[in-house]
Amino acid sequence: MSLVDQFWSASVEDLKHGYVEQADDYLCLLCGEKVEKGIIYPVEGRLYDAARYMQHHIANTHESVFEHLSKLDKRLTGLSDHQTSLLRLFYQGKNDSEVQKEMGIGSASTIRNHRFALKEKERQAKVFLVMMELLRETDKQTSFSSPSSVKTNKAAEGVPQSQAKLQATTEEAVEITSKYFPEGTDGPLLRFPRKQKHRLVILRLIASRFDPERIYNEKEVNEILEAVYADHVTLRRYLIDFAFLDRKPDGSEYWVNIENNQREEQEETTMNRKQELKQLYKEVKIEAGVYQIKNTKNGKIFIDSTPNLKTINGKKFSLQHGSHTNRSLQKEWNEFGAEAFEFEVLEVLQKKDEPYFDTADALEKLENKWLEELAPYGERGYNQEKKR
């Protein structure tokens, strides 16, 4: 799935965070940067796990999710430039008088009226979202509720389309079961697992509490799940996402999906190949380096660096959404179109196997070298000269 699809299919909560959790990593929805799980990342003398490092990435690269979203094209936000400016000032915590002075419009009461208008827009947006959700639930409008869109949403949440690749061995299943059901499989769930393989084992056990010959209503499903875990809503959602349970679009009836295991067996061969390709991808070394974006129409270039050259496509995403931080580059991208621009890696950073090697500092020096060599300023490029 492309980053654009990931962005638009993400939940509101994920968009607020600016990233989404996937099976093996965290994906930045703003630029496509990926942070692999299971690695500790050193940052300025501190050690961060993957989730915390992703939060650092967003703050360091994008300032904040709000800042990034406020720079999106007005066709995407539905806001005028004036409304966006007001929201930025409100986000900074400025009161009505301060906003009025900074924008130089009307009086403090004028700003209060603008606040009211924005709240009205928020209420209208909520009504529209509810209407769209109800439209999807009817499952009658194929343009809104097609099988492909459902598949996309599940992929965005990191839910596997097949469970064959996550099958645990008998020994692993016993270990996982004892870890999360310390009082036995008929007892309560200690906590909901984070790892997909563990979730699969646990959800299969929970699904076994349902009679495959019976149809349940939502209240009955909730009662069974509440006896397992306090957050029964999460269990219900994942039982549906992992296809252990199925239901009617309006949620009036639930039943055990007895076809799920048969479908897994049919997909196992395909998934084995996908697993091989995934492993090959993971084995590709992550390289930092400097790259350029070149306008082939006028020869102007933009020089930048990244700790992961595989995420350069994320920069295309920012440009396509009108949210690239370099406004002059964004302006000409909009004017000339994507086909006028080329992305090229200029140099890969050669990392040294030394305990005190500072990757960030070395990358900055490498970028400065190319800035000095190509001087992409003024009529030659889009970079702004750094103040000394």
Mean pLDDT for the chain overall: 82
What was the pLDDT predicted at 154?
Answer: 42
Q: Percent of the chain having pLDDT more than 70?
A: 85
What was the pLDDT predicted at 263?
Answer: 52
Residue bearing the bigger pLDDT, 146 or 284: 284
What was the pLDDT predicted at 276?
Answer: 56
Average pLDDT for residues 123-134, to the nearest whole number?
Answer: 85
The answer to whether residues 346 and 336 touch, using CB atoms and an 8 Å cutoff, is: no
DSSP, res 75: H
Residue bearing the bigger pLDDT, 154 or 203: 203
Q: What is the pTM of this model?
A: 0.42
Range with the poorest average pLDDT among 26-40, 46-60, 100-114: 100-114
| pLDDT over 80 (residue 305) | yes
| pLDDT over 80 (residue 294) | yes
Q: What is the crossing angle of helices 81-91 and 96-103, to 10°?
A: 130
Radius of gyration of the chain, Cα coordinates, nearest whole angstrom: 25
| pLDDT over 60 (residue 152) | no
What was the pLDDT predicted at 127?
Answer: 87
Tell me the residue length of the chain. Answer: 388
Range with the poorest average pLDDT among 134-143, 298-307, 349-358: 134-143
Confidence of residue 150 (pLDDT cuts 50, 70, 90): very low
| pLDDT over 60 (residue 52) | yes
* Interatomic CA distance for residues 59 and 31, integer angstroms: 13
What was the pLDDT predicted at 388?
Answer: 61
What was the pLDDT predicted at 332?
Answer: 94
Residue bearing the bigger pLDDT, 44 or 59: 59
What's the pLDDT tens digit per position in 253-265? 999 887 664 455 4
The answer to whether residues 343 and 291 touch, using CB atoms and an 8 Å cutoff, is: yes
What was the pLDDT predicted at 151?
Answer: 40
Cα–Cα nearest to 384, from 323, 305, 328, 345: 328
Confidence of residue 141 (pLDDT cuts 50, 70, 90): very low
Cα–Cα nearest to 321, from 62, 55, 1, 3: 3
Question: Please, which residues bridge with residue 295 across strands?
Answer: 341
What was the pLDDT predicted at 235?
Answer: 93
Q: Find all residues with CB under 8 Å of 114, minimum gap 6, and list them.
A: 83, 86
Residue bearing the bigger pLDDT, 137 or 102: 102
What domains are defined for the chain?
1-58 (no CATH), 164-278 (no CATH), 289-380 (3.40.1440.10)
Cα–Cα nearest to 5, from 36, 37, 25, 27: 27
What was the pLDDT predicted at 158?
Answer: 45
Task: Give the three-class secondary structure for 8.
Answer: helix
The answer to whether residues 48 and 26 touch, using CB atoms and an 8 Å cutoff, is: no
- 24 burial type by CB count under 10 A (0-12 exposed, 13-18 middle, 19+ buried): middle
What's the pLDDT tens digit per position in 328-358? 999 999 999 999 999 999 999 998 877 778 8
